A and B are shown apart, each in its own frame.
Chain A
Amino acid sequence: MDGTETLSKELQEIDGVITKHRGKHGELLGILEETQLLNEAQFLSEEALNHVALRTGVPLSRVYNVVTFYSFFNLKPQGKHKITVCRGTACHTKGSKALLEDIGLILGCGKALEDGEAFYTTPDNEYTISTVACFGQCALAPVVAIDGVIHSNVTTATLQKLLKKFSKRRITS
């Protein structure tokens, strides 16, 4: 990154994003958000973060602080489908841990979902399973979001139904 090499397309686009946000309120957050959206796998690569730090002059450690603080930011490539299980107190008492384990069984990634918390992308990059501390939908507990759609009062049976579509596709494709 000494200025002589030509920048990849992604880094050029990031430059555009940075120019757009320069001087605006919440500059760094805005830049990072849009940079992540630019990325096909919806994540912030190290190269992208280096570039943002270099161009904005924000210290690398500070960039890291921000991207690890907000759960919106991903440091790893995201699967095509996003499954988010709420692990808040209400959902927990209504059995969200078991749901998480079910997902692990159905998608074949049981080991990675052990501690009642998860952030896992299946090796084929099809699914990302994550947990949140609370969706704010406690009345509907337990809550699972699949590709942005919130499903309430989820049971093992409904979960199986919901995931069937995916796993079928997965098996047949």
Chain B
Amino acid sequence: MDSKMVSVRINGSEYSVPSGATILDACKRAGISVPTLCFLQDVAKNASCGVCLVEVKGAKSLVRSCTACVRDGIEIITNSARIRDARKTNVELLLANHPKECLSCVRNQNCELQEIAAELGVMHDRFVQTKKKMEWDTTSLSLVRDPNKCILCGRCIAVCGTVQTVHAISLSNRGIKTRVSTYMEKGLGNVACTNCGQCALVCPTAAIVERDDTDEVFEELLNPDKVVVVQTAPAIRVGIGEAMGMAPGSLVTGQMVAGLRRLGFKKVFDTQFTADLTIVEEAHELVQRLTNKGALPMITSCSPGWTKFAEHFFPDALAHLSTCKSPQQMFGALAKTYYAAKLNIDPRKMVVVSVMPCTAKKYEARRPEMMSAFEHWKEKRAWSADDAFYDVDYVLTTRELSRMFKESGIQFASLPAEEFDHPLGESTGAAVIFGATGGVMEAALRTAYEVVTGKTLTDINFVALRGMDGIKEAEVDLNGKKLKVAVAHTLGNARKLMEQIERGESPYAFIEVMTCPGGCLGGGGQPIPTTWEIRKKRAESLYAEDLGKTIRKSHENPQIIALYKESLKTPLGDLSHHPLHTSYQKRGLFVWKTNGHRKKEPVSTK
């Protein structure tokens, strides 16, 4: 933005604002609120809704303040009968073709269209419907699209194309037939979509939502034959409070555990346990690649949107991905092998539910290769394909969990703090920060340093890797060997680092990639809205939790040490290979040609 200041007059008062500012910016600076709907800070500026109209002296028609810029001496009015009328009419026009299903809509009371209609005082259903009913897109394992609820704001297209550089969706057709489409209407599940859910996170309405698995989980919880355990990702403890009406970033680890017990989960475990395990395996993998001249830079693989992105867009660079499964998948595999054996539970009767900030995790859990517990048992027990089960049975997003809490009448804020169950509930500070961009790298370095040097790392805070810059860098000294590392969040930033690798110019040994802006705390399954301000608050809480932990290095987690002793023996060993490591497939862009590997049909959705 230009630093030159210009003078503007808003509602009769003088203000001085930067010359490149939009009228909306100028009003914000002046503390005057102007309603908006399609506009989304840093993401979308399509000026499609006409809710942000203001009067500019001398202009014939009303002006869309989200895109029109100020000029010196401009006179702006933000409230007049003409403005109120026009704004209201624009919303009424949107409502003409919008299903009025608020009471049975997943976004009820969390919907920007609903909010704006209330705010602008829309009281009449004035216009007749002109659009025909459109089919839902239920092809994706992660998301469901209801084009009837779409107001064509273009936010999803902008986030998918500009922030994530995936371009899975675009507008199609024109005039009254305009809609958001995938290529040839194949559906999200049949095109190169990463399932990141950022589109759902920015959608003002219920036109793109997570696939709802709450009914299935409720049903399992009622089944007396099943042992239903739950794991929670780091980012849930800084998100679920918010979804339950608390302040953004509220750290509610203990209440979350208590609430999950109230829902009826037999054991409440922590994905952070396997986050620590991931770090131990991954740090050893890095050391191995450094000594054996393996593919470098090595890139983290815990973010399933990212791994799928790499499979689609960089199929020839998959050797750079760490072979470590994500913590969610390591957890499922271990729960149904190690833990099931320990407690003598029939793994077929065990149900692993994960609570994730992420919609891509729903897809990840259904990848056909993610059945390693079944593979482990099937020979020993002579089981047939009919007994087959996934390592992780259901994935719930933060938003779904909040719905389950609400439906069950759980007064979340007044729950007592409770502890995770043992042994899969124990974790370190290193695992907590997995939820923030830079956290996995920081955690890995805390361990890799000690593995390589044999010395104790005293200053364990890698501050350069924290914060919300799109790409962050640091250099670490491992026994005189200087390693450059980088951290990227959003797939657009990941793409930049991948192109550097393709050009043979990557200076890095190790790269962390997180699909979502801010890392998992900004995941596609997190509470809506998720803004930069809110992301920062969630991150602060995670770093505070890390600081408060007595053990802050993954390899010092006593239950991880016990796990290696009792079962896995050594990192990267033969025994850890199957449950903890995976491989990737070259998918390319023409997914519908190679698809068809789905073993189980996606569960029905509401």
Chain A interface (Cβ < 8 Å from any Cβ of B): 1, 46, 49-50, 53-54, 59-65, 68-69, 75, 133
Contact = CB atoms under 8 A, between A and B. Distances in A.
B46 to A, nearest CB: 14
A46 B184 contact: yes
Interface stretch (B114-122, B165-173, B240-248, B332-340): B165-173
B589 A65 contact: no
Contact of A68 (B161, B168, B173, B590): B173
A61 B191 contact: yes
Contacts of B172: 64-65, 68-69
A49 B185 CA distance: 14
B126 to A, nearest CB: 22
Contacts of B175: 133
- Summarize B's interface: helix, strand, loop or mixed: loop
Contacts of B192: 60
B182 interface: yes
6 contacts: A60-B589, A61-B167, A64-B170, A64-B182, A68-B172, A133-B175
B503 to A, nearest CB: 16
Given A59-B170, A60-B589, A68-B173, 8 more contacts: A61-B182, A62-B170, A64-B172, A64-B182, A64-B184, A65-B171, A68-B172, A75-B184
A54 B589 contact: yes
Contacts of B167: 59-62
Nearest to A58: B167
A132 to B, nearest CB: 12
Contact of B590 (A1, A63, A64, A75): A1
Interface residues of B, number: 18
Interface in B173-224: 173-175, 181-184, 191-192
A61 B169 contact: yes
Contacts, number: 44
Contacts of B161: 59
Nearest to A133: B175
Nearest to A46: B184
B226 to A, nearest CB: 41
B590 A61 contact: no
Contact of B181 (A1, A53, A61, A133): A61
B275 to A, nearest CB: 34
Closest 9 CB pairs of A and B: A59-B167, A61-B170, A60-B183, A65-B170, A68-B172, A68-B173, A64-B183, A61-B167, A69-B174
Contacts of B184: 46, 49, 64, 75
B239 to A, nearest CB: 30
A69 B169 CA distance: 15
A50 B191 contact: no
A96 to B, nearest CB: 17
Nearest to B168: A61
Nearest to A70: B174
Contacts of B168: 61
Contacts of A65: 170-172, 181
A79 to B, nearest CB: 22
A68 B191 CA distance: 18
Contacts of B169: 61
Nearest to B192: A60
A122 to B, nearest CB: 23
A133 B171 CA distance: 20
Q: Which of B168, B171, B173, B183 is packed against the most chain A CB atoms within 10 Å?
A: B183
B366 to A, nearest CB: 24
